[in-house]
Structure 1
Amino acid sequence: MTTDWPNYVKKPGTRDWQRSAIEWLRQLLPARYATYPTLSRFPVLLARQAQIQVQQEEQMTRIALRTARAELPRMGVPESVIEHMITMHLLELSQLQKTARSVQAVSSALASRQLGSCIVDSHAQRR
């Protein structure tokens, strides 16, 4: 198990680990995604959506960071507040990078589980 494994997700192979992974991944997505049953039935797709979501949030944070000093003064934001915003964005970027690594770890575990069940199913079908 890597250090990137999220604290909220049980270890693979333990009871309800997949359910805890699904619950954690859902928290990373907009609430409306819970209405799509395909994501619930195929946890690897849920993990893929979470990866895309986190990547987009990283990109948005980088843009906000890159443009803060140019755009915020024109909006009348005081310099001290701009510095706080920059600090906030730097912290958020660091957290998003950690989350991206955690999503990748969970995604790999889910894909391994799915691959393992596909192999078992194919062996059962051959009999």
Structure 2
Amino acid sequence: MAYARAMPTYVAPPGWPAEVRPPDAPDWERTAHNWLLDICPPDYRGYPALRRHLVVLARFAVLHVEASQAAARRGISEARSDLRDVALLDVVEAAVQTWQAEDARLQGLRRAVGLVEEAIRGRRFVARL
């Protein structure tokens, strides 16, 4: 009796970016590279070390997202005092809400970029029931 060979299963954990194929899937590193470049400042594309070394690009991306998070949190904490003399209260509140939305988006992005960096460094994820 012949056994059918099982298709390989590639596992991406919760929070993994949809734009990146799961680790070890065909072309996964290419999709990771493209996604990481897309979330970084455009100038990063001009640095040979970031184009040639995926692990270096991943580290730069993590630090870029963390810096953006710090900026969003600073915006939240300073918006009311910095803008109260130059904008109406509803405009100031809209700015605070925008900073809060950006902070929430960046939290998810930080998780995603961290997972991709871990996979680039060799971590593999296991499917859970």
Asked if Structure 1 and Structure 2 have the same fold, meaning a TM-score greater than 0.5 normalized by the shorter chain, the answer is yes
Structure 1 residue 22, shift from structure 2 partner: 0.5
Structure 1 residue 4, shift from structure 2 partner: 1.1
Match of 1:112 among 114, 122, 126: 122
Unaligned runs of 5+ in 1: 114-127
**2:96 is equivalent to residue 86 of structure 1:** yes
Q: Segments of 4+ in structure 1 off by > 4 A?
A: none
Number of the residue aligned with 1:122: none
Structure 1 residue 2, shift from structure 2 partner: 1.4
Number of the residue aligned with 2:17: 6
The one-letter amino acid of 2:87's match is: V
Distance 1:57 1:24 in 2: 17
Instruction: State, as a whole percentage, how many aligned pairs show the same letter.
Output: 32
**2:49 is equivalent to residue 38 of structure 1:** yes
Distance 2:84 2:102 in 1: 21
Number of the residue aligned with 2:4: none
Higher fraction of helix: 1
Unaligned runs of 5+ in 2: 1-11, 124-129
Distance 1:2 1:77 in 2: 43
